[in-house]
Amino acid sequence: MSTNMKTAAEVMLDVLYEKGVRHVFGIPGGNSIPIYDALTHHPLDLILTRHEQGATHMADGYARSSGKPGVVCVTSGPGATNTLTGILTAMMDSVPMIVITGQSVTPNIGLDAFQEADVLGMSFPAVKHSYMVTNPQHISRIVKEALHIATSGRPGPVLIDIPKDVSASLIDPSIEPERDLPGFKPVPVADPTDLDKAADLLNHAVRPVILAGHGVILSGASEALKELAETMQIPVTTTLLGKGGFPDTHDLSLGMPGMHGTAYANKALSGSDLIVSVGARWDDRITGVPEKFCPNARKIHFDIDPVEINKIINVDCAVVGDAKASLEALIPRLKPGDTTRWIKQVNRWKRDFPLKYRKEGKLRAQHIIEELAAMAGIDAVSCTDVGQHQMWAAQFVKSDKGENWLSSGGAGTMGFGLPSAIGAQLARPESTVYTVVGDGSFQMTLCELATAVINKLPIKILIINNRYLGMVRQWQHLFYENRLTGVDLEGNPDFMKLAAAYGLKGFRVKRSSDVRKTLKAALQWNEGPCIIEAVVEQHDNVFPMVPAGATLEEMIIEAPRRKRSAEDETKEIA
């Protein structure tokens, strides 16, 4: 026996460290103790969380803000099932993540042992790939494969389930089985014929629009995209996840399209004769009913994942490959036309239908979000939770780098806001990190305040408190004759007392006139996290809005003139 024997758990941590991983997020349990035991004397930093879902969102935020995979380590059974929401969130948004789950000892698997669950089986529909480690000698191969799969091509989460007896087994780390991935397809390279066709469509377009998604950010294609847009003078609309992939501050930027997108982005899409999607997947929050989506525009789709081609929208030209490589190969084929008239038209829409909100009366969520973003500066990392505040943040936060904007898009996971900010602040200790959360979504993972406090992370947590599940209330108000059910969050804690209980700084703001003063104090508070509770107008709705099933032309641009009062709504319910 070699004297260099190590446990499989130690070898697993060594491989992660070798591959550049520095933080592991998680909380232990019986079946992951051998892994946590190995962490006691390992250079990898354990970030102890209070819940496994929080750990996954932290790893997610870490990955989105740094481009490096996030790593989670939890125990079996409920510990593992608690990660499923975070795994789904990462899968839907193509985020590289490794989730290591402890498992019962091998002889107990499948026998309903304590804290035993078929985690591998449960993972299948939600992961890019998953493993159960049965032979400890294969641990290094599996971890390397998992990292490769998670980070290459279209990124995604990979789960590794390790029985306790396997992680505790002593192995010889010098014996390393070879990679065994015969079915893992290499990143496709754009077909020159498809590129010619795309160039031809672009060269002849009169009213083109670029629809830029997360793929632009994941492939580092922002510069190439900018060159494409500027050379050809094409306006660019960025999806919720593509935000920052093209600077919000650029003259050609249209902001976000779709259900709560800008009126000018939606008008531009509706009026276009060519839509060039780059790393976006025609999400239903943008296209609505696919058959009715911009029927007069030709469509080009750049995507790294062949599954996305013609999945929702039938396209005239598909270019399968990495966004950056494809755009760089496309640009030399282009001959700039004249889009001056089109750009003028788009600019008229921008002037005539700007994003706006009422500034009189009670404090508005949009106001404080816009101020926080402006005061924190364009280099700050903005995280959001899911709901009305998320859409307002998407509308009013200006971003010029994809890795500075973190939001759960595909899965729309409430509870993402706080832990993703923790992950981002750990990945980017020098950056200002703030997170905009709703009073509802914040409570889904608020136990992670402890994680932020013990790590002294100076995150600014802006709670938009309207004491409602605001987005659901908005739908019930607009489409269910204001029959409000299950949306009143009576019983919310006193968020200032909550802050005090966790030992963090709390600020509360109720008046528009106090916004700047409060935000200034909060931004200067760097001794740890702080909560800024904004008590806002309860009945504001997010506009513009394209009702579900309607076309972009049918969007409601702004709220009806007469604002419904709280009393009106109460009367209607009665």
Partner 1 sequence: MTNAAKHTISLLVSNKPGVLTRVALVFARRGFNIDSLVVSQSQEAEFSRMNIEATGDERTLHLMLAQLNRLVDVIHAVDHATDDVIQRELALFKVSCAPEKRTEVLQIADTFRGQTVDIGDETITLQVTGKSSKVDAFLKMMSPFGIRELVRTGKVLMSRGLEATA
- Min. distance of Cβ 120 from partner 1 in angstroms? 6
Shortest Cβ 86–partner 1 spacing (Å): 20
Catalytic residue among 6, 164, 243, 299: 164
Pairing state between β 433-438 and 460-465: parallel
Positions 10 through 39 that interact with partner 1 (CB under 8 A)? none
Give me the amino acid identity at 172. Answer: D
- Please, which of residues 303-342 interact with partner 1 by CB under 8 A? 305-307, 309-311
Residue among 140 and 435 whose Cβ is closer to partner 1: 140
Cα(297)–Cα(264) distance, integer angstroms: 16
Residues 178-217 that bind partner 1 (CB under 8 A): 180-185
Residue 446 CB, shortest distance to partner 1, in Å, is 33
Residues 53-74 as b/e (b if ≥16 CB within 10 A, e otherwise) read: bbbbbbbbbbbbbbbbbbbbbb
Please classify residue 289 by burial: count the beta carbons closer than 10 Å to its beta carbon, then call 0-12 exposed, 13-18 middle and 19+ buried. exposed
| 115 a catalytic residue | yes
Give whichever of 175 and 181 is closer to partner 1, judged by the CB atom. 181
The tokens for 297 are 């525009």
Q: Catalytic pick from 19, 68, 115, 496?
A: 115
The H or E element containing residue 522 is: helix 515-524
Among 129, 243, 260, 389, binds partner 1 (CB under 8 A): 129
| Residue 273 contacts residue 201 (beta carbons within 8 Å) | no
Helical H runs in 50-138?
A: 52-66, 78-81, 84-92, 119-123
Asked if 132 is part of the footprint of partner 1 (rule: CB under 8 A), the reply reads: yes
Tell me if 107 contacts partner 1 by CB under 8 A. no
Query: Considering only 19-27, 119-127, 355-363, 390-398, which stretch makes contact with partner 1 by CB under 8 A?
Result: 119-127
Query: Could you tell me which stretch among 120-128, 423-431, 516-524, 557-565 binds partner 1 (CB under 8 A)?
Result: 120-128
Note whether 149 binds partner 1 by CB under 8 A. Answer: yes
Cβ 275 to partner 1 shortest distance, Å: 20
Binding partner 1 by CB under 8 A: which of 9, 13, 120, 256? 120
Judge contact between 139 and 171, C-beta under 8 A: yes
Active site residue 353: no
Q: Which is nearer to partner 1, 1 or 307 (CB)?
A: 307
Choosing from 45, 78, 106, 121, the residue that interacts with partner 1 (CB under 8 A) is 121
Gap between the Cα atoms of 251 and 415, Å rounded = 34
Nearer Cβ to partner 1 (63/109):
109
Given the residues 97, 122, 471, 555, the one annotated as active site: 471
**204: three-class secondary structure by DSSP:** helix
Could you confirm whether 545 is annotated as catalytic? no
Supply φ then ψ for residue 200, to 5 degrees.
-60, -45
Q: Determine whether 256 is an active site residue.
A: no
Q: Which helix (H) or strand (E) holds 349?
A: helix 340-352
Q: How far is the CB of 88 from partner 1 (least distance, A)?
A: 14
Q: Identify whether 164 is a catalytic site residue.
A: yes
Q: What is the DSSP string of 392-438?
A: HHHHH---S-GGGEE---SS--TT-HHHHHHHHHHH-TTS-EEEEEE
DSSP state of 353: S
Residues forming contacts to partner 1 in the complex (CB under 8 A) are: 120-121, 124-125, 128-130, 132, 149, 180-185, 305-307, 309-311
Residues annotated as part of the active site: 52, 114-115, 164, 471
